[in-house]
Amino acid sequence: MDCAENGCDRPACVELHIPWDENRVVCAPHARVLGRQDGVVADPLPDSADDLLEEGND
């Protein structure tokens, strides 16, 4: 599953729960940006937990 953001083809590893929009799955960098907005909850996808951790080593 790829990131839901336009122009982004990184693998999605986080589901964002967005109060004013539909839930979407995004890559770790986009989850960091979008997850800073008030009310947004970032929920790591279980299958991708290892990928998420690796992203943190950049």
Determine, following the binding rule CB under 5 A, whether residue 8 of this chain makes contact with Zn ion: yes
Q: Which is nearer to Zn ion, 16 or 27 (CB)?
A: 27
Compute how many other C-beta atoms are within 10 angstroms of the C-beta atom of residue 51: 17
| Residue from 8, 1, 50 nearest 29 by CA | 8
Q: Which is nearer to Zn ion, 33 or 49 (CB)?
A: 33
| Residue from 19, 41, 21 nearest 31 by CA | 41
Site string for Zn ion, 19-48 (x = CB under 5 A): --------x--x------------------
Which parts of this chain interact with Zn ion (CB under 5 A)? 3, 5, 8, 10, 27, 30
